[in-house]
Amino acid sequence: MSHVKLQDVTKRFGPVVAVNRLSIEIPQGECFSMLGPSGCGKTTTLRMVAGFEDLDEGEISVGGKIFSSSFKNYYLPPEKRDFGMVFQAFAVWPHLNVFNNVAFPLQIRKMPKAEIEERTRRAITYTGLGGSAETYPNELSSGQKQRIALARAIAINPTVMLLDEPLSNLDPKLREEMRFEIKDLQRKFGFTIIYVTHDQAEAMALSDRILVMSEGEVQQIDTPLNIYHKPANKFVFSFIGLSNFLPVEIADSAVYIEGQHDAGPLNVELPPRTQERRLVLATRPFEIDILREGGVRGTVKRVTYLGDVIDYRVMIGNVEVRIQKNRIKEILREGQPCGLKFNRILWYEHQP
Amino acid sequence: MANVSLEKVGKTYDRHQVISDLSITIRDGECFTFLGPSGCGKTVILRLIAGFEHLTAGEIFIGDRLVSSVEKDVHIPPEARKIGVVFQDYAVWPHKTVYENVVYPLQMQKIPAAEAKKRTMAAVEQVNLGSLENRLPFQLSGGQQQRVALARALVSRPEIMLLDEPLSNLDANLREEMRFEITALQKQTGVTILYVTHDQEVALAISDRIAIMDKMGRVRQVGPPDEIYENPADPFVFKFMGISNFIPLDWRDGRLFVGGSDSPLAYPVPADVLDRIRRHELIAGCRPYDIELTHDDSSPTRGTIRRVIYLGSIIDYRVVLGMQEIRVQQDVRDAGQGGIPFRDGDPVGLNFLNLKWFENRGLNEEVES
Amino acid sequence: MIRKLFGNFGIAEILLAVSVLILVIVVAVPILLILWTALFVDGSLNTRDILKVLSQPDTYEALKNSLIIAAGVTFFSTITGVFFAWLVSRTDLPLKETMKVLFLIPFMLPPFIGALAWKMLLSPRAGYINKFLSALFGLDGSLFNIYSLSGIIAVETMYLFPFVFIQVAGALERMDPTLEESARISGAGLLTITRKITIPLMTPSIAAGALLVALYSLAHFGVPAILGTERGIYNIPTKIYEQIYQSGGSFVAIRTGTILSSILLIAAGLILYIQNLVLKAGRFQVIAGKSMRPMLLKLRGLKIPLLLFSILYIFITVILPTATIFLVGSLKTYGISFTLENMSLANLKYILFQWKMTKDAIWNSLYLALGAASVTMIVGTLISYSIVKIKVRGRFILEFLGLLPFSVPGTVIAIGVILMWSGKFGINLYNTAWIIFIAYIARYMAFSLKSNSAALEQVSDSLEEAARACGATHWQSLKDIVIPLIKPGMVAAFFLVFLPALRELTTSILLYGPTTRTIGVAIYALNEDGETVYAATLASVALVIIIIGQLVIKRITRSRIKGI
């Protein structure tokens, strides 16, 4: 039995359909991310799971127990759902010290004092806040505030943790660190994580599976690796990682950049099972080799040194291709002619 | 255009010395970036050059002109320095249209109206805001407002342009776009640019030379981007730019070992470096992609994979080596050629391809603010 | 050296000196004089007089009443203000936006005019409501007696609760909703959340509002004057007035006034101190980033009853008194019933065009208010600029001096101004319009400073610096950039002073002479003389001017939001 189950969940705000017939099944202990641009419906979905919003249609159940259902006309308020939740702006109460912030959910549940003490101290230690129990949030950094929120969420030993863009307000190096801390906590406690983010690197690094969303619709649910290498459609391809979408034509059983037959054919196989003459070839900047000779002929338009990586913009006629190479390979210069060799490509339909 | 010379420049606020003894020359027509964590004083340097702050020590020349001097009691106010400034919050005047914003410097210079109009419209076109000249700022996006600021800074044909983190409030895609526009504008006009930022990617992308600053306000290294990246002067610079690993070394029983472990290090170390390692003076630094991982026994240096993270085009490894954890990154395609992928907990062999040597002190310096 | 300190422009020190001078003369000296006169006689400490005054039973009584009234008003205003703020921000009450506006209207009514209206409605025997109820229930005596401590407390609460309402409603709206959501997900129900999270976080705002109310009530003259003096119920301001009035302005009385004023000052100081403590303990940054809706309590069955209750409250506290004033003001004689033939516009014409006393009062108030507003606007801008933009050492003195009058009661300012400008330093302005003018400037400078400082703080430094980088001198950047951007703030500051100055009573009642009555004084005098109808007519005129003024402000602030 799946741990968290959403079935045909739909939510409307007036005429706008924010979430459209979303169905997910998340097994116990999985780290499941919802990824998409702002306004895609991921936060709304999380809030429906948490209970802050009620769904219009569908059913949400956790561990077999129904939390929201339009079929059965049932809605369990958030305070009864026993989730651990971490918010983007930390939502740490400034008038309570660290201990009382973390102990709050335990105090609400009227646990015996000794147990509250023990659990709170444990949560504080696990999140690296040991020694700060008496301090007040305004004396602590953002990273520490977020740790308070984490400690508070794990204090009740939840089976499911909901995280709403918890790291967006932290700076980049801290963000990376905290990702691992969250993963470590998950390993230690074994809870299921539902994570919302717009940062694809974060989703890729953390998740067992990712749901890519756009405008309320599911685009793809899969492991990070599959999403990257086998994106279901153009949106997913362009949302995860850098991408090139090149307009191509098929002529004389070869593939050419549209309008640039003079540049020579691409070293790729014809797409299977299609009669189309015009298509879109999608490829990652890392999957293209840039050569001095051979390949599709173009000119280097721009070279940007980015430290560990060199970013090239190559013009094939008036089509710009973006290539990124590790800097240990030799560097070409702007204006230099070059050739491109494509290694890994995907085909999409041409759209006018 | 002009060069900028700072000689023994110092700035103190209320007994707190932010900048001390800074001497640097920014060449005519170059794009020079001050790069460092927040609070390091880079913005103060920009403001001193602009004239918004007074020096407490030293002198500043713009071209041949002395614009600030403590000794000679000279301080030419900003309006007389012939500069263009782009601020972090754009500082586009909300009660003036795009046109009125951009034409303002020319009005201050008392340029006759017809020519002012011509130059203003040219500047507006140059930043791709043509047809928007009658809009008010609140009707424009962040990126467009930033362009207004750029146009306004360029229209008076200043000798130098000062840019204070102009791109930090823009989203990633727009940042890339604007980076390129700034570089293109510089090439077109030949103006000297002084850029201030904490974002190393921007610094690497646009600069002719970079000055790396630490939190104490000291300049740690000055040089072109590739030199800073490839030949960092000290651990701070190495840590600040990109991802870094530090590997302590031991000399025992006539061999080089990874510090605190039984793993020997197989690397061609020059004799003089070896001497200093023996005297515990040096530590090795290594970039994540300068490390090869092998399944077999070909390397005597052994470690354990602690975590494997797929980041799409890159695989990021955390490897336990001796007493520390180091990061290794591989291109997905290169990794694929190695055969079987690594998993958490796997033993692994490490080959170091390019070690840099640093003095064994100041390693704990905080790089972030 | 000086240039290095100030950096920006050469006459910064002149500006600073002028600002300090103005504030010292206008604000600091009067207050110091009060303390000096109260404490010292001919150079030596004046304990005898102080003790004599303090030990008199009616002084003691006045002090006691002041405290009781202030405590009562604060208590009830807090409850009312918090209740309505919560109703409007945290429930699904219908017509919320309208109610938010309606609850602010009591602010616009001068409390003493409200007291006047309530006197007409609830005075025993003559009050309309009393008469109506007595007739209805066949009672012998009357049900309500407005001439009482509870009457005073009730009326002051009606018109002061918006202080609390504004603070709390604003704080509730700005509060980060995830603070409550995280409590919810932690298992807490609405009641627990309100108790443990919302209210503690609101405490600074509640305290800020409550203390403002306390301060205002302690210093208030109008309502106790109209509803209390008749029955011998005095508070400190009315006691001071009584002493001075009875003695015809003798110096002894004025000295008694200074002693009593000092008590007021100390009380005000204490309140401010408490406020600082509370604010320091609880100043939390609870501003929300994302615009997410806060959790609303579903009122269900209580929706309509509470809405009706709120509307009823507005009706009783605003519409009823206002209507009474307008209606009584049109009566031919007081006490007769409200039929069309008993009413006419004759009173209005008389007041506006014929009776010198009222005509003068209206003109006096108009040009005094205009003058005070203009001066405070200009000077306030200058001083604000010194404080906010010229980062000069010692600007904290300016800030302190500027904001001091906020908390100094109008009575105290009046006494101080009397002491200072009645010949002590060679200039005697007593009984002229000038003394009122100076008192107004002292009283309202703080309003202008606050408003202008707020506007200036919105103009970020980089806007001026950008102008400098474009070749503008400091003056040019002021002219081209700063002034256009703070113009709306300056205009707001103007009206912020103009309207209160127009309708005030507390200060001018101690300073007026035979030809320098203000509207407030005139209304009060008419009431004292038993000319209830004319008092009401003049009050209606005042109300109309105030309403027009408020509409003009709304117009200006609305256009400010668009564009600039």
Q: Which residues of B touch A306 (CB under 8 A)?
A: 201, 204-205
Distance CA B200, CA B197 (A): 8
Backbone angles phi, psi at A2, to 5 degrees: -70, 155
Are A157 and A188 spatial neighbours (Cβ–Cβ below 8 Å)? no
Are B328 and B288 spatial neighbours (Cβ–Cβ below 8 Å)? yes
**Same domain (yes/no): A19, A121:** yes
Three-class SS of residue C220? coil
Question: In order of start, what are the domains of chain C with their CATH numbers?
Answer: 56-328 (1.10.3720.10)
Are B31 and B208 spatial neighbours (Cβ–Cβ below 8 Å)? yes
Domain final position from A239, A270, A290: A239
- Asked if B104's CB is within 8 angstroms of C467's CB, the reply is yes
Low-confidence ranges of chain A (pLDDT < 50): none
> What's the one-letter identity of residue C483?
I
How many Cα atoms are found within 13 Å in the side-chain-facing hemisphere of C360?
12
Burial class (CB in 10 A: 0-12, 13-18, 19+), C561: exposed
- Asked if B205's CB is within 8 angstroms of A305's CB, the reply is yes
Distance CA C498, CA C374 (A): 8
* Each residue's pLDDT tens digit, C396-430: 777 677 667 667 888 888 888 888 887 777 777 78
**Same domain (yes/no): A234, A279:** no
| Chosen from C176, C179, C182, C195 to mutate, greatest number of chain A CBs within 10 A | C182
Distance CA C175, CA C246 (A): 52
Length of chain A: 352
Are B85 and B153 spatial neighbours (Cβ–Cβ below 8 Å)? yes
Q: Which residues of B touch C476 (CB under 8 A)?
A: 108
**Same domain (yes/no): A146, A26:** yes
| Domain span at A151 | 4-239
Of A95, A108, A162, the CB nearest to C187: A108
- Asked if A308's CB is within 8 angstroms of B289's CB, the reply is yes
- Indicate the range of A305-309, B365-369, C102-106, C408-412 predicted with least confidence: B365-369
Q: What average pLDDT does chain C have?
A: 83
**Same domain (yes/no): A255, A221:** no
Q: Which residues of A touch C290 (CB under 8 A)?
A: 88-89
| Chosen from C8, C389, C390, C470 to mutate, greatest number of chain B CBs within 10 A | C470
Alpha-helix runs per DSSP H in C356-482: 356-388, 395-407, 410-421, 433-458, 461-469, 474-477
Of C183, C187, C282, the CB nearest to A95: C282
Q: Which residues of C touch B95 (CB under 8 A)?
A: 484-485, 563-564
Of B226, B309, B316, the CB nearest to A305: B226
* Each residue's pLDDT tens digit, C238-257: 998 888 888 877 777 888 88
**Same domain (yes/no): A156, A233:** yes
Report the complex ipTM.
0.85
* Each residue's pLDDT tens digit, A110-127: 999 999 999 999 999 999
Alpha carbon of C93 to those of C86, C89, C170: distances in Å?
A: 10, 9, 17
Q: Which residues of A touch B310 (CB under 8 A)?
A: 204, 224-225, 228
Q: In three state form, how does the secondary structure of A127-177 look?
A: CCCCCCCCCCHHHCCHHHHHHHHHHHHHCCCCCEEEEECCCCCCCHHHHHH
The CATH number that applies at residue A98 is: 3.40.50.300
In this prediction, residues C254-273 reach a mean pLDDT of 83
- pLDDT of amino acid A148: 95
**Same domain (yes/no): A87, A64:** yes
Please tell me if residue B101 touches chain A, with a CB cutoff of 8 Å: no
Are C435 and C249 spatial neighbours (Cβ–Cβ below 8 Å)? no
- pLDDT of amino acid B369: 42
CA nearest to A137 within chain C: C284
Strand order in the sheet with A217-222: A84-86, A160-164, A192-197, A31-35, A209-214, A217-222
* Each residue's pLDDT tens digit, B100-146: 999 999 999 999 999 999 999 999 998 888 888 899 998 888 888 98
Q: Which of C445, C443, C441, C432 is nearest to C364 (CA)?
A: C432
**Is residue C298 over pLDDT 80?**
no
**B256 forms bridges with which residues in the sheet?**
B251
Distance CA A131, CA B262 (A): 36
Q: Which residues of A touch B311 (CB under 8 A)?
A: 201, 204-205
- pLDDT of amino acid C4: 46
Are A20 and A10 spatial neighbours (Cβ–Cβ below 8 Å)? yes
Question: In order of start, what are the domains of chain B with their CATH numbers?
Answer: 4-240 (3.40.50.300), 245-359 (2.40.50.140)
Three-class SS of residue C476? helix
Higher-confidence residue of C132 and A19: namely: A19
Read off the pTM. 0.79
**Same domain (yes/no): A37, A140:** yes
- Asked if B88's CB is within 8 angstroms of C471's CB, the reply is no
Neighbours of chain A (3+ CB pairs under 8 A): B, C
In this prediction, residues C345-357 reach a mean pLDDT of 83
**Same domain (yes/no): A327, A218:** no
Triad B301, B307, B310: Cα angle to 5°: 115
**Same domain (yes/no): A267, A320:** yes
Please tell me if residue A340 touches chain C, with a CB cutoff of 8 Å: no
Distance CA B228, CA B290 (A): 17
Nearest CA to CA, how far is B97 from chain A (Å)?
A: 31
- Asked if A138's CB is within 8 angstroms of C187's CB, the reply is no
Three-class SS of residue C55? helix
The CATH number that applies at residue A291 is: 2.40.50.140
**Same domain (yes/no): A226, A290:** no
Q: Which residues of C touch B91 (CB under 8 A)?
A: 460, 462-463, 465-466
**Same domain (yes/no): A130, A148:** yes
Length of chain C: 564
Q: In three state form, how does the secondary structure of C238-292 look?
A: HHHHHHHHHCCCCHHHHHHHHHHHHHHHHHHHHHHHHHHHHHHHHCCCCECCCCC
Are C543 and C322 spatial neighbours (Cβ–Cβ below 8 Å)? yes
Q: Which residues of C touch B75 (CB under 8 A)?
A: 3
Locate C41 and state its tokens.
């006689």
Tokens 């320098």 found at: C516
- pLDDT of amino acid B192: 94
Number of H helices, E strands in chain A: 8, 20
pLDDT bracket for residue C6 (50, 70, 90): very low
> What's the one-letter identity of residue B167?
L
Distance CA A150, CA C543 (A): 57
For strands B356-359 and B347-352, give the pairing: unpaired
Distance CA C300, CA B337 (A): 67
How many Å separate Cα B295 from the centre of its chain?
37
Burial class (CB in 10 A: 0-12, 13-18, 19+), B130: exposed
**Axis-axis angle for helices C149-174, C199-218 (nearest 10):** 140
> What's the one-letter identity of residue A304?
T
DSSP annotation of B170:
S
**Same domain (yes/no): A96, A154:** yes
How many Å separate Cα B114 from the centre of its chain?
41
Domain final position from A239, A272, A291: A239
Length of chain B: 369
Number of structural domains (chain A) is 2
* Each residue's pLDDT tens digit, A87-98: 988 899 988 999
Triad C245, C247, C248: Cα angle to 5°: 65
